Amino acid sequence: MNETIEGILSHYSVRDFTDQALTENEIALLVKSAQAASTSSFVQAYSIIGVSDKKLREELSVIAGRQDYVVKTGQFFVFVADLSRHYEIGKARGVDTESLSSVERFLVATVDATLAAQNMAIAAESMGLGICYIGGIRNNLAKVSDLLHIPDYATPLFGLTIGHPTTSSEPKPRLSTDIVYHENQYQPQNMEDFKKYDATIRDYYEARTGGKRVEGWTDQIERGLRHTTRQDIKAFLASKNLGIK
C-alpha cells in the first residue's frame, strides 16, 4: 500500500482546529490540487470562495448551526456549482443558454465542484491538515448566496473547513463492502443485511462516548428521516435558473 492510499484510508473528520490561518502558499497548493481534478467535457463548472473574513465566517457559522469550526479554522472554503461563466459565453456569442437550466447541467456542475473539493480534501490531509465538509450552509442557501455575492446560474453547495487539528481520531467503520459494491447488477438489501453493521456502529459510539451514545446506523438513518430539513432547495435553485427542466 502506498502513501496516498494510506492517507485516504486514514481519513476522519476534524472539528477542532487551532486559529492558525493557512498560508497563501498552502491555499494556492490546495486550490491547484482542486483544479487538477477531472471535469465533465472540460467545462470546469465550479468556483471556490475562500472565506478569511471573520465576520463573514461568523455569519456562515450561524447558518450552519453554530459550528465553531467554521470560524476557528485555517481557512473556510465554499464550493460553488457554477454555470455563470458558460452563461456569459453564451450571451456574448449569441447562443441560446436555456439548456444551462437543465437538471443535466446542474448535475455536471455539482459533480465538477465535488471532484475538485475531494482533491482539495485529500491534498490537505496529506499536508497534515484536518478537514470537515459543512453541508450546514444549505440550511439557508439564499443567505449564503447573498453573503458571498454568488451570481445567477451558480449556487453554493457545501463548505470545506481546513486547518491545523488540535485533536486526532481514527476512521469510522463504513458499511461492509458487499453492501456498497455490487458485481454487474444491483443486489437489493433489507434490514437483515444491516444488523451486523448496526452492532459495529453501536460499539463504535459506545466506546467513544464512554457508553453515553448507544445508536446503530439504522437508528441514525431513521432519526434523519424524522428530521426533515432543507425542503426549499428546489425553489432556491430555480431562482438561480438552475435545475429547472
* 74: its cell numbers: 485555517
CB of 57 to its own copies, least distance (A): 10
Interface pick for its own copies out of 17, 46, 69, 153 (rule CB under 8 A): 46
How many CB atoms are closer than 10 A to CB 202? 16
How many CB atoms are closer than 10 A to CB 45? 28
How far is Cα 198 from Cα 205, in angstroms, rounded to an integer?
11
CB of 161 to its own copies, least distance (A): 12
Look at the block and give the residue holding cell 448496526. Answer: 198
Interface pick for its own copies out of 22, 63, 70, 100 (rule CB under 8 A): 100
Interface pick for its own copies out of 90, 142, 143, 164 (rule CB under 8 A): 90
CB of 166 to its own copies, least distance (A): 19
User: Considering only residues 138-177, where is the footprint of its own copies by CB under 8 A?
Assistant: 138, 147-151, 154, 157-158, 171-172, 174-175, 177
CB of 13 to its own copies, least distance (A): 6
Q: Quick one: CA torsion of 199, 209, 221, 60, rounded to 10 degrees? A: -160
By CB under 8 A, tell whether 32 contacts its own copies: yes
Query: Could you tell me which residues are beta bridge partners of residue 161?
Result: 76, 132
